[in-house]
Amino acid sequence: MSTARGRRRKTLFELLWEYAEELERTSEELMEALLAGERPAWDLRNRCIEPLTHVSVAPDEVIITMDMPLVKPETIRVRPVEDDLIEVVAEMKKALKPSDLGVVHVEGEIREMRARARVPVPVEMKAVKFVFRKGILEIRLPRKRRIPVE
Amino acid sequence: MGEEVRVIEKEPIEPGQIVVVGLPDVGLVGLIATQYLIRKLNLREVAYMHSDLLPPIAVLHGGLPHSPVRIFGDKGLLVIFSETAVPADAVAPLSRAIVDWCRSKEAKLIISLSGIPVPNRQDIDKPSVFGAASLPETLEILRKHNVGVLESGIMVGPYALILRYCAEHKMPALVLTAQCFFAYPDPEASAAILAKLAEILGIEIDTEELLRRGEEIRLRARDVMRRTQRELARMRKTQEYDIPLYV
């Protein structure tokens, strides 16, 4: 019969190692859970497709880029929805069928590119600026200034 | 270990050919370039790769199943490409299998096509091509064709391993990388790299169609890009931005 008294106590390094392994397992499980909730890029009920989006946080601003091929540049609308959520909508140059993208098992039409991006830090939503070049939309949002601690 | 990835040849493959590799990576530069190359040169499927490390998928073409990693060839040229993102865990065995197979086929030269992300990509009209080589004499090919040599830095992913394994076996190999977007498919970068590949191989590749259909290709490449990004994150691809330490 083994007893706790007879066991060697774990070193700090071993405990840290176990903790790191547990953390890795948890993050993998989280990733799997996220993957399980995947959905297609296209939404035929709303006739839209979601662009690839990338959010980066710089010291003074948040830069959101979206890959928006085949949209009419003059129709791009960028709109703050909440304090930390921004919505982008643009019309496609022509309505696309899923079969145009190699998806043949569903019918419908894609007329818009539409996305919502969550901003990870506080920003001045009213000061939003954007440019569209080479089919990439670049949105810039200045970060809210922090009050320095005395 | 060597059996984790197998190459199944569908017909006899002559030794001594040039092998071009295009696996999903930043900007999908190599994947877009090799798919275009296969179509333009009218290459046929001569082999495919099988591995339980790859996602359990069949790629359908004409209603028939295919492996996502296939080898096309004709006219002294073999092209290896993957239609799906390569899982980070499969990168090393796949790279090893590619090099072992090329070795068994006495490949004359292995050229991997890839991208090198640059933050100001939107300001660049014509992406430049840079490169690295497995051997000093192979490096001369880059210099002869005015390809900027990546003198120092870190490469991450299958191309890095292919280059290293080739160096181990003293096999001639190049990696060509075009300036590209990190997170978005970049057909312009693929066109730039194909132009340089054509120059090195001494063949004609008209990239006009690739540039003209760029927007459509970007839309179609969207999902492969998204999945590739996840795997690149697992490979710690951002190390390529790191400043190398030389004291």
The Cα of A50 is separated from the nearest Cα of chain B by a number of Å equal to 9
Which two three-digit tokens encode residue B129? 């091509």
B69/chain A closest Cα distance in angstroms = 19
Contact status, residue B57 vs residue B18, Cβ threshold 8 Å:
no
Do A101 and B220 make contact, defined as CB atoms within 8 angstroms? yes
Q: What is the DSSP string of B16-71?
A: S-EEEEE---GGGHHHHHHHHHHHHTT-EEEEEEEETTS-S--EEETTEEE-SEEE
| A chain contacts of residue B183, beta-carbon cutoff 8 Å | 52, 54, 65, 67
- Contact present, B95 and B165 (Cβ < 8 Å): yes
Tell me what the mean pLDDT of segment B185-196 comes to.
97
A54: confidence class by pLDDT, cuts 50, 70, 90: very high
- Provide ipTM, 2 decimals: 0.82
State the Cα–Cα distance between residues A144 and A126, nearest whole angstrom. 11
Residues of chain B found within 8 Å of residue A102, distances taken between Cβ atoms: 220
E strand map for B118-161 = 129-133, 148-149
How confident is the prediction for chain B on average, in pLDDT?
Answer: 92
pLDDT in tens, A97-147: 988 887 888 889 999 999 999 999 999 999 999 999 989 999 999 998 766
Q: How far apart are CA A73 and CA B151, in angstroms?
A: 40
User: B122–A52: do the CB atoms touch at under 8 Å?
Assistant: no
- For residue A115, CA distances in Å to A43, A78, A132, B72 come to 11, 10, 15, 38
B234 by Cβ neighbours in 10 Å (0-12 / 13-18 / 19+) ranks as: middle
Residues 6+ apart with CB under 8 A from B102: B19, B110, B166, B171
Contacts of A139 in chain B (CB under 8 A): none
Residue A29 reports pLDDT greater than 80? no
What CA–CA distance (Å, rounded) separates B221 from B56? 20
Tell me the pLDDT tens digit for each residue of B193-247: 999 999 999 999 999 999 999 999 999 999 899 888 888 887 776 676 666 666 6
pLDDT digits (tens, 9 = 90+) for B29-52: 999 999 999 999 999 999 999 999
For residue A92, the chain B residues in CB contact (below 8 A) are none
Q: Is the pLDDT of residue A1 over 70?
A: no
More confident residue, B236 or B68: B68
